[in-house]
Each structure stands twice: as C-alpha cells, then as structure tokens.
Amino acid sequence: MQNLQIPFHLEQSPESIEQWQLADADIKLFPHFLSTTEADLYFNDLKKHMPWQQDSLNFGGKSVLIPRLQVWVGDKQSRYTYSGLSLSPLPWTPVLEKLRKLVEKASNSEFNSVLLNYYRDGSDSVAWHSDDEKELGSDPTIASLSLGVSRYFQLKHKTKKHLKSSCELGNGSLLVMGKGVQQHWQHQVPKQAEVDTGRINLTFRRILL
C-alpha cells in the first residue's frame, strides 16, 4: 500500500462544485473530485489491503450481521460508537493520510477519523440514519468519498416528511455534508439488485476527544 503510485491530483474549479439545494442544510457535491484513474487506483488498493470485517448489531436480543464490510481508522483516541457497536481505530495508512489531506482542503474542515464501508454488490446497503452520535458534536461536517460503482444516495427530512432527495454518487465523487444535514435529515444507501460490482465509501469525521 505504501508504494501506491497516484497521478498528480488536479484541484477542483469552482464551476465543478454543485451546491445541493436542501432545506435547513448545507451540502455540496464534487462530482469529479478524483479522476477515474485516481479513483480506480485507490479503490483497488483499499479493497486489497484494508482488513475488512463484517460487524454485527444487536436487534431485540438477536445478533445480526450488517450488510457491508467496514474498517474504522483514526487518531489514537478516536473511538466511535453507533447502534451499540463500539469501534477502536486502526492507525492511519499513507494512502488514507493522503486522501484525508485532499478531502480536508476541499471541504475546508479537519478530520481525525474515517469510516470505510465496502459494499460488495447491490445486496449490500445501509439503512436510514443520521450521523448524530454524541462523539461527533451537535452539528458535524462529514465528507463522503465514493470509489467504485455508482450507488444511489437518498435523503429524507426528519420532520418535513414531504421533503426527499436522491442522487447517484459516482466513482471519485465527494459529498460534503455540512451544517444542518445530520440535525434535520436522514440518509441511506439502498439495495440495488442490478449492481454486481463493488463500491468503497469513506466518510471522514471529527471525533470530539
């Protein structure tokens, strides 16, 4: 992993950033944050070298495997707990450090951790939720980098039930969820039976230590 050769990264021009219109929220999409060549190299490297594991959650006293693989990486003290699952961070790798710096510059934010999710095909998914755990603070910025096959990303407002939104997050895209998104919206990656290849999603976060 340390010898991965990545082409020179081109900065995003202002016209390549899409301001996603959501009520009560600030959200931006960089559709081509990484080139296809860059994204493919990162995808193949992370798929091969990360210690993917399938964790389980407890529902009504029954242990259920989550429908995806994941890895939690971050600074030493950046423990993360969601849905009763407690994650201790693995150390940053050179590849993830490089991605963190690129994402921090684009999002104008600082992150000390990243959750990597590997959706092996369209049968893997993540259900409706908000990233609003106490470790993230009251109104966190979360940057979501997608590698691999395009998958639908859906949002629904927590109180204004008629408000919904959806898009496809493609290979190399970066979605920056800023003020209000986790407070007022839920999101999911639904199952897609027609998808037969993989996607790796990296959600960069800042755990309050």
What is the predicted pLDDT for the residue at 16? 66
The CATH number of whichever domain residue 116 belongs to comes to 2.60.120.590
Each residue's pLDDT tens digit, 130-160: 999 999 999 999 999 999 999 999 999 999 9
67 contacts: CB under 8 Å, gap ≥ 6: 123, 124, 125, 126, 191
How far is residue 62's CA from residue 50's CA, in Å, rounded to a whole number?
28
> Over 60: is that where the pLDDT of 14 sits?
no
- Domain-located, residue 7: no
Band the pLDDT of 10: cuts 50, 70, 90. low
What is the predicted pLDDT for the residue at 5? 67
- Domain-located, residue 24: yes
Band the pLDDT of 15: cuts 50, 70, 90. low
What is the predicted pLDDT for the residue at 1? 47
Residues in a beta bridge with 175: 29, 144
Each residue's pLDDT tens digit, 43-97: 999 999 999 999 888 777 788 899 999 999 999 999 888 877 888 999 999 999 9
The torsion angles phi and psi of 66, rounded to 5 degrees, stand at: -75, 145
What is the predicted pLDDT for the residue at 206? 97
Distances (CA, A) of 67 to 128, 142, 192: 13, 22, 13
Tell me the pTM: 0.92
Full residue range of the structural domain in which residue 41 is found: 16-53+63-205
Task: Determine how many CB atoms are found less than 10 A away from the CB of residue 175.
Answer: 25
How many distinct structural domains can be found in the chain?
Answer: 1
- Domain-located, residue 36: yes
Q: Report the chain's mean pLDDT, rounded to a whole number.
A: 92
What is the predicted pLDDT for the residue at 85? 81
